[in-house]
Structure 1
């Protein structure tokens, strides 16, 4: 694309509150690409995004929904919207939670980004481990897949990348 980016810095903030039996999260995120050197009139990469998340627990099942919006998405792709829905089920076995997600992103000018107006889905298995007087360690195993065709996956020099296919992921997080 003609860029020399060394670091992505994400600045975010938000508020969480209950409303009518739902848990609501309102967030704002600014994505900044430090060390950016634009060449040849390439579009800016920095962008802002507003996110609304709602969830509601019904016994061992939690229903989740997310809506994200950006007035000028990554690489000047125009207005962008993101919708996601999901379910988490507390299995009752060894503290495991089984989850599933389905999402779709819509961009005004997807050609600027190389992808867009695409979907993804995933399933995950999560377990929390409480560490006394410190916080909670969360371990997650996931399998995810996108609808992005190989030739449209972050095209560089006219070729697609091999990063948009199915993936198994493992992650650790810590809440304190």
Structure 2
């Protein structure tokens, strides 16, 4: 394989499944822009339930410039490690538009996933790809309901059409805690080229600001992919606990 899942990690960025991290904001009034930076360190980098670092820690950053009109551009960066390739970093570029309609908050955009420094060799596939994304959310008391869909015309590793759908909720709890749950499903047109069959993924996490603006998130992540189905028997798709620490500054 070469990666059995793509990285967006915290991306569309930072992973749709990853718990929300603390962020630092700067306002540029002359341009009507809000600039946001979200640095984080984590015990793994999971994208749709699959490790992008071969079960090793990750250092990541998400950056965004949001205009008052609702249009935004951003980027996500992380270290990665895919067996059999020289890919060592991921840089994702994203752009989109946020707005309110029919009682929902919408986010419609696109993400370009790239791996600078990756050199394709004989027998391997190109790994850069593009996805379109539609996300919607609604706040009901202490609960935020979330839904999203992502479509790629040629998914990671040139595996054909890829479609991912996800739903979930974030719940504000006492003591400053936030509980999050997600369930998603990934469809892949050319499963052998991608490295796994179509699969389901899920997560449950708790997050809280713990000290000096730092937010700690602990989550349990899983898929229904067996080890034999996980890119030739790699332990990248197993259930696991992941810890993320981010800092507000």
TM-score by length of 2: 0.62
Deviation at 1:111, TM superposition (A): 0.9
Deviation at 1:87, TM superposition (A): 1.5
1:125 aligns with 2:213: no
Deviation at 1:101, TM superposition (A): 0.7
Q: Which runs of 5+ in 2 are unaligned?
A: 2-83
Q: Which runs of 5+ in 1 are unaligned?
A: none
Equivalent in the alignment of 2:234: 161
Aligned length: 167
1:15-54 C-alpha deviation (Å, 9 max, x unpaired): 2222222111123111112222222242211100111111
Go from structure 1 to structure 2 and tell me whether the alpha carbon gap of 1:173 and 1:122 turns closer, same or farther (over 3 Å shift). same
Equivalent in the alignment of 1:19: 101
Deviation at 1:174, TM superposition (A): 4.5
Name the CA distance, whole Å, in 2 between partners of 1:76 and 1:87.
32
Deviation at 1:106, TM superposition (A): 0.2
1:145 aligns with 2:222: yes
Q: Which protein is bigger by CA-based radius of gyration? A: 1
Equivalent in the alignment of 2:154: 72
Q: Work out whether residues 197 and 229 of structure 2, in 8 Å CA contact, stay in contact via their aligned partners in 1.
A: no
Go from structure 1 to structure 2 and tell me whether the alpha carbon gap of 1:141 and 1:49 turns closer, same or farther (over 3 Å shift). same
Go from structure 1 to structure 2 and tell me whether the alpha carbon gap of 1:33 and 1:116 turns closer, same or farther (over 3 Å shift). farther
CA RMSD of aligned residues (A): 2.0
Name the CA distance, whole Å, in 2 between partners of 1:122 and 1:63.
15
Name the CA distance, whole Å, in 1 between partners of 2:89 and 2:147.
30
TM-score by length of 1: 0.85
Name the CA distance, whole Å, in 1 between partners of 2:92 and 2:155.
14
Deviation at 1:169, TM superposition (A): 0.9
1:114 aligns with 2:201: no
Name the CA distance, whole Å, in 1 between partners of 2:187 and 2:163.
5
Larger strand share, 1 or 2: 1
Deviation at 1:100, TM superposition (A): 1.0
Name the CA distance, whole Å, in 2 between partners of 1:85 and 1:165.
21
Name the CA distance, whole Å, in 1 between partners of 2:134 and 2:193.
25
Name the CA distance, whole Å, in 1 between partners of 2:154 and 2:85.
18
Equivalent in the alignment of 1:39: 121
Deviation at 1:151, TM superposition (A): 1.2
Bigger relative contact order, structure 1 or 2 (CA pairs below 8 A, ≥6 apart): 2
